[in-house]
């Protein structure tokens, strides 16, 4: 993992990812929204769609290993997530993310993230275990932004969480299944 920790342009993070069929549905919705809002931004590829849980950027190799140990020890049941709105987040000028958000359909995800954050803290990776969290799936980035808008809910069952190394694509460095 050391080679990933030192790469300044790479991102390393823990995430929940949709299954392939759901990722395709999200991508199709993003395409429709892009046309409807006359966005110019490039769509996020289906295989890169995810919900970021914790950033592990810049952690030394020892702490990355501790984060993986915390993830391995975590016991949780699979749970459903549901997104029912889209909105543009602020972001950098000219680079505003259009995202899926929800509320009631994300309570179990929020509880899971709290459990994972507590496990990271117990393993000495407190810096990564930030409490700020707005669950979302980024669809694209654009110069323009739009207000919140309801959509037909998109949902899936989270059956695992993953450690992603993101540079020009997403490499899954580790996977942890959720078990009943």
pLDDT digits (tens, 9 = 90+) for 70-128: 999 999 999 999 999 999 998 777 789 999 999 888 999 999 999 999 999 999 987 76
Distance from C-alpha of 46 to C-alpha of 134, rounded to nearest angstrom: 21
pTM, to two decimals: 0.90
- Residue 167 in this model has a pLDDT that exceeds 90: no
Q: Which residues pair with 141 in a beta bridge?
A: 97
* Banded pLDDT at 7 (limits 50, 70, 90): very low
- Residue 180 in this model has a pLDDT that exceeds 80: no
Q: What pLDDT sits at residue 12?
A: 93
Q: What pLDDT sits at residue 129?
A: 66
Decide the pairing of beta strands 51-55 and 79-88: unpaired
Could you tell me the two tokens for 156?
A: 């899936």
Could you tell me the two tokens for 68?
A: 């993986």
Q: What pLDDT sits at residue 37?
A: 95
Average pLDDT, the chain: 91
Across the range 8-34, mean pLDDT stands at: 93
Distance from C-alpha of 76 to C-alpha of 78, rounded to nearest angstrom: 7
Residues contacting 165, CB < 8 A, separation 6+:
4, 10, 11, 12, 171, 173
Across the range 157-179, mean pLDDT stands at: 92
Q: Which residues pair with 87 in a beta bridge?
A: 99
């Amino acid at each position: 993992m050391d080679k990933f920790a030192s790469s300044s342009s790479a991102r390393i993070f823990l995430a929940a990812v949709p299954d392939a069929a759901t990722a395709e549905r999200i991508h199709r919705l993003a395409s429709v929204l892009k046309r409807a809002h006359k966005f110019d931004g490039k769509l996020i590829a289906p295989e890169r769609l995810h919900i970021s849980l914790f950033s592990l950027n810049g952690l030394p190799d020892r702490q990355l290993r501790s984060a993986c140990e915390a993830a391995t020890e975590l016991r949780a049941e699979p749970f459903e997530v549901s997104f029912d709105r889209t909105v543009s987040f602020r972001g950098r000028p000219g680079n505003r993310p259009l995202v899926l958000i929800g509320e009631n359909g994300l309570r179990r995800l929020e509880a899971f993230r709290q459990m994972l954050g507590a496990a990271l803290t117990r393993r000495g990776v407190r810096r990564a275990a930030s409490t700020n969290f707005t669950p979302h799936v980024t669809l694209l980035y654009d110069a323009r932004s739009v207000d919140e808008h309801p959509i037909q809910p998109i949902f899936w069952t989270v059956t695992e969480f993953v450690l992603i190394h993101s540079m020009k694509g997403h490499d899954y460095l580790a996977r942890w299944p959720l078990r009943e």
